[in-house]
């Protein structure tokens, strides 16, 4: 749950389905999951969900924040139904969906260089 802005600006929505097919996302999701994603798309939230089907297991990466507290039950129910249908995912690949209404996902500012302690070249050195 996150704080909802006083006024929801519909022009800032980045729809799950706005960009069409992504050539890097080669996992076809079952229609039941796609229906739930369409349902969630109508609820004011931010974040992303990524399905990664590998030969031996399925990973679901998600960062979702509900921005409309009145829709908490519907949002939770949709997420539960998605989890119920993950067993229907076939094949291997990645499929991801994002809704980031407060970020311009098409434009990034240029960074001259990363901060000195951004990420070590050898992460094993951390804490050594």
Give the Cα separation of 90 and 65 in Å (integer): 28
Inside any domain, residue 9: no
Inside any domain, residue 2: no
Inside any domain, residue 64: yes
Do residues 92 and 49 touch, judged by C-beta distance below 8 A? no
Inside any domain, residue 53: yes
- Model confidence pLDDT, tens digit, residues 52-81: 998 899 999 998 999 889 999 999 999 999
Please give the tally of structural domains in the chain.
Answer: 1
Inside any domain, residue 122: no
Inside any domain, residue 117: no
Inside any domain, residue 114: no
Cross-sheet strand order for the sheet of 45-53: 58-66, 45-53, 93-99
Q: Which residues of 9-37 are buried (b: 16+ CB within 10 A; e: fewer)?
A: eeeeebebeeeeeeeebebebeeebbebb
Inside any domain, residue 98: yes
Name the residue with higher pLDDT: 50 or 18: 50
pTM: 0.68
The domain containing residue 62 runs over which residues? 14-103
């Amino acid at each position: 749950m996150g704080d909802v802005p006083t006024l929801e600006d519909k022009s800032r929505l980045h729809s799950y389905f706005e960009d069409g097919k992504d050539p890097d996302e080669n996992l076809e999701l079952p229609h039941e999951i796609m229906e739930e994603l369409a349902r969630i798309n109508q609820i004011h939230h931010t974040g992303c969900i990524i399905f990664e089907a590998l030969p031996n297991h399925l990973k679901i990466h998600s960062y979702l924040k509900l921005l409309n507290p009145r829709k908490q039950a519907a949002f939770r129910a949709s997420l539960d139904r998605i989890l119920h249908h993950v067993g229907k995912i076939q094949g291997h690949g990645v499929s991801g969906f994002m809704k980031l209404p407060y970020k311009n996902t098409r434009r990034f500012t240029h960074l001259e260089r990363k901060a000195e302690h951004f990420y070590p070249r050898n992460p094993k050195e951390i804490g050594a």
